[in-house]
Amino acid sequence: MEMREKVSAKFEEIFGEGAVMYASPGRINLIGEHTDYNGGFVFPGAVDKGIVAAIKLNGTDKVRAYAIDLDSHSEFGLNEEDKPAESWAHYIFGVCREMQKRGVKVGGFDTTFSGNVPLGAGMSSSAALESTFAFALNELFDGGIDKFELARVGQSTEHNYCGVKCGIMDQFASVFGKAGNLMRLDCRSMEFEYFPFNPQGYKLVLLDSVVKHELVGSPYNDRRESCERVAKVLGQEFLRGATMEQLDAVKDQISEEDYRRARYVIGEERRVLDVCEALEKGDYETVGARMFETHWGMSKDYEVSCEELDFLATVAEECGVTGSRIMGGGFGGCTINLVKDELYDAFIAEAKKRFCEKYGHEPKVYPVVISDGSRRLE
């Protein structure tokens, strides 16, 4: 509640009364990493941390925005040439432009916002920000856009205004989140279903290495291009549905690096389906085993881990944790851990102690509860 009150109070201080409050969550992804842009499956859930915004139409053609956490103001128009200087404001500007492209008559508004999604932890604070404004503007300007298109608004904002060629998962999870459920999204057909996630006797916890990563630029896009090259050799649009036999058959036509990237993605598609099957049986041990496989695949084949994350996954294995892996694009950020209740306190203490001894600071600990998606706060 306190974030909502802070955002509301700051709005009144700067712009006066009458704002409407909106919120969207960050997300975790239990498994299915770097599969979205390969047309595969992902398995996210919305979390109990996100972005809250106060918004009020101002009757002009200007947006006046204040980012509380950064203590930064931005004012901008709604035409393409009006892109603001402040990089955080690109997200709001991009959402306005993408809504306009879809026929919504977006006008000026005033807004303040704040978030408690840890930045750089791979929980998609940017998607939470985009989803908050897409959902709000759709309602405030009677856009009539469905939830899937709102997720695409966020994705297009990343592509066209923020320089990241991301898949659809982060925005999808933020918009469609449902408490007590994970979602399996087929990134090719856009079909999805909810899977109850209620691991009795286990906790989900993120350990943030506090190693920051910037996904803009080459590392993320390089891997995407690797996958696209292999798919082309296989005569497919995406790697989705390719088998290891097919990959091995073209091994001599692709680089060693592209082969390893594709091997990871093909294996990850299988792991997502294994986890869905395991969850339907309440088999959390299999879920955990697949999480570890994903971690080491991302580390060795996809090469998006880093020394600190590999260290945290190793500590988790040694402490008897059920499952642990890098979460998010990689290059820093968090591990997501599925831990039995009775091991939880000892694991957290051990991970903090050993990480601090090696790297000079403790990892941050974020227990996670699966929560609801984008909404107006009454």
Cα 24–chain centre separation: 12
| Residue range 371-378: mean pLDDT, rounded | 95
**pLDDT, tens digit (0-9, with 9 covering 90-100), for 297-328:** 999 999 999 899 999 999 999 999 999 999 87
Enumerate the CATH 3.30.70.890 domain ranges in the chain, comma separated: 202-367
Q: What is the pLDDT of residue 70?
A: 95
Tokens (6 digits) for 299: 């580390």
170 is catalytic: yes
| Residue range 241-247: mean pLDDT, rounded | 97
Tokens (6 digits) for 355: 């990480």
pLDDT band for position 133 (50/70/90)?
Answer: very high
Catalytic residue of the set 36, 110, 170, 301: 170
Indicate the average pLDDT of the chain.
94
| Residue 250 near residue 234, CB atoms below 8 Å | yes
Q: What class has domain 202-367?
A: alpha beta
| Residue range 231-241: mean pLDDT, rounded | 96
Other residues' Cβ atoms within 10 Å of the Cβ of residue 114: 18
**pLDDT, tens digit (0-9, with 9 covering 90-100), for 252-271:** 999 999 999 999 999 999 99
Among the four given CATH numbers 3.30.1780.10, 3.40.50.150, 3.40.50.300, 3.30.230.10, the one describing domain 2-196+371-377: 3.30.230.10
**pLDDT, tens digit (0-9, with 9 covering 90-100), for 218-235:** 687 899 999 999 999 999
pLDDT band for position 213 (50/70/90)?
Answer: low
Poorest-confidence range of 24-28, 36-40, 112-116? 36-40
Quote the CA–CA distance of 199 and 337 in Å, as a whole number.
Answer: 12
Enumerate the CATH 3.30.230.10 domain ranges in the chain, comma separated: 2-196+371-377
Would the pLDDT of 120 be above 70?
no
